[in-house]
Amino acid sequence: MQNNPILQKGDSCFIVSPSYCASKIEIEKGIDVLRIAGLEVESGSSIFYSWGSFAGSDDERLSDLQNALDSESCKVIFCIRGGYGLSRIYQRLDWTKFLKNPKWVIGFSDVTFLHLKIQKLGFPSIHGLMLARFADRSHLESFDKLFSLLLNPAPRLEYDVLGPMEFQSEIVKGLLTGGNLSIISNSMGTDLEPDFSNCILFLEDVGEAFYRIDRMIHQIKHSKTSRFIKAIVLGQFTDCPLANFPLSLIEIFTNTFPEIPIFYGLECGHGIPNFPIFLGIETTIKKTKNGYLLSQNPERTSLNF
């Protein structure tokens, strides 16, 4: 796994909308926030387009995303919003220039398709806030944390999480993979299916009924490498209706994976706050006096390029 460049004020970023469209006001305010933060902003030509709910046609969104991946000047790609659309275009992307000049790709939800591909290529990415919410005051803390991470030459993340009190191990280590549960489930049996060997699996979702969550978790359970998962960490499962399902959210996971620890309470996903987390780097979960501490320290992996 290789690391990506450190962002500095004056550097260039590229904004794209590879899935659903956002409003012109949201995009313009997000661009203003980036400029105030000291970044030069490049953008795809279709960011203000719409084709139904999409931010332009498949070809238009593909062209913008390809230009962002190919850019020699930008160090980070900010996705504008998620929704749906990347599954229609990701297989047509050419990653040749990205491999020679990698950059951070930031987003969540539908952007999980990109995270899965980037990790297959051997690079990390960031599950985090998207541009359409950069100017939203309720997400100020999430935005500040994301940018402090990007601008820090020695970034480190630490989050308190909850977990099984009966779990005896003092520490769990593994490569953090995952993202949106629905996307992970959809990837099973495709070229993007994650290799769960010795990983810590992070999952979040929005608007999925408990029975659907249960179905998707069992689909992952039946994958070839799921038996090698070291632990599961649950982010936010926002607006997920019980729908008369007999198990709680935590019970869905503990019943399906009784042999590994299930941690929860990570404030990453579709809620507020939506804190950033690295995907594709070694992650440690350590027992503390009051629970567990999830930590990531990319510098210690010695993966600078």
Q: Is 270 a known active-site residue?
A: yes
Catalytic residue among 17, 115, 139, 204: 204
Nearest to 33 by CA among 19, 49, 16, 15: 15
Burial class (CB in 10 A: 0-12, 13-18, 19+), 55: buried
Residue with tokens 């919003």: 81
Task: Spell out the alpha helix ranges (H) of 57-189.
Answer: 58-70, 96-100, 112-120, 140-151, 181-187
Q: Is 45 a known active-site residue?
A: no
3-state secondary structure of 279: strand
On the question of a cis peptide bond just before residue 241, with omega within 30 degrees of 0, the verdict is no
Q: Are the beta carbons of 61 and 17 closer than 8 angstroms? A: yes
Q: Is 204 a known active-site residue?
A: yes
Catalytic residue among 115, 127, 139, 270: 270
Residue with tokens 């049996």: 189
Q: Give the separation between CA 246 and CA 79, rounded to whole angstroms.
A: 37
Catalytic residue among 71, 109, 142, 185: 109
Catalytic residue IDs = 109, 204, 270
